[in-house]
Amino acid sequence: RMFDVNVRGLLHGVRAVLPGMIERGHGTVINVSSVAGRRTYANHTVYSGSKFAVHGMSESLREEVAGHGVRVVTIAPGAVETELLSHTTDEAVKADYQAFKDSIEVLAPEDVAAAIAFAYQQPQRVTLRELVLAATAQVA
């Protein structure tokens, strides 16, 4: 399910919007990855792998469509207050991650939305290829 959402969902979304962007000669694709798509974490193999795929596909796509005036941005947030834990079946992993989240003030969804808006609002000639954000207290 995680690969379906994080990888196939990205592919379907890009396929739906890219032809029009190329035809117009401008557009912006913003893909949401994760800090876990830049480094690995124990017990997060599938999640991390899916987010590494987002990074790789985004960078390759950026190279393919830059000449058509299309920007590709990868947003890579650290820990965010989401329902991510509800998709995990291992109770020990859930407990460890919840303890981590309780130990720091993690990002709010609004923080990620503000980063996306900032990247999008740049002039069309500017591409923020990758924006990594995390809670100040998140060190890894």
Q: Is the pLDDT of residue 64 over 70?
A: yes
Closest to 61 in 3D by CA, of 4, 120, 127, 114? 127
pLDDT for position 129: 97
pLDDT digits (tens, 9 = 90+) for 114-133: 999 999 999 999 999 999 99
Residues 65 and 114: their CA atoms lie apart, in Å, by 25
pLDDT for position 84: 66
CATH class assigned to 2-133? alpha beta
Band (pLDDT 50/70/90 cuts) for residue 99 is confident
Q: Of the listed 41, 47, 97, 120, which one is catalytic? A: 47
Q: Is the pLDDT of residue 85 over 70?
A: no
pLDDT for position 101: 83
Active site residue 120: no
Q: Where are the beta strands (DSSP E) in the chain?
A: 27-32, 70-77, 130-133
Q: Is the pLDDT of residue 37 over 70?
A: yes
Closest to 58 in 3D by CA, of 66, 68, 46, 47? 66
All structural domains of the chain with their residue ranges: 2-133
pLDDT for position 97: 79
